[in-house]
Amino acid sequence: MEYRKGSAPDNTITRDVMSLSEETGNVYETVRIIGKRANEIAVEFKQDLTKKLQEFSSTSDSLEEIFENHEQIEISRYFERMPKPTLVATQEFLNHEIYFRNVLKENDKAEEL
């Protein structure tokens, strides 16, 4: 997936929200765009993690046979070390990798013509 190739930081960075909103002209619209993309990335993370964990899952249903699966633990640790979805989405927004449009602004421009 593309989020693995990104250069998003591993920890939180304090950002000037007003400078982030220069492209859209509205702070709330910028936060909405980044938030929606972060939700998409979080769903991709979860699907990918679930798929990888199922490859190593045991089929025993007995409570007496509880043992640790080291492969699952390593996969979980790998995903925990990855940057959070909000950081990845913010980095994508800063790199102009997110396509967005405002339908209301487009309709207003069309009505003016």
Neighbours of 17 (CB within 10 A): 11
Report residue 104 as tokens: 């209301």
In a domain, 2, yes or no: no
In a domain, 3, yes or no: no
Q: Please give the chain's pLDDT, 113 residues, in tens.
A: 555 555 666 667 788 888 888 888 889 999 999 999 999 999 999 999 888 888 776 666 555 445 567 777 888 888 888 888 998 999 999 998 988 877 777 676 666 66
- Using a cut of 0.85, tell me whether the model's pTM lies above it: no
In a domain, 10, yes or no: no
Report residue 57 as tokens: 């899952």
* Range of the structural domain that residue 34 is part of: 18-112
- Number of domains within the chain: 1
In a domain, 79, yes or no: yes
Neighbours of 75 (CB within 10 A): 17
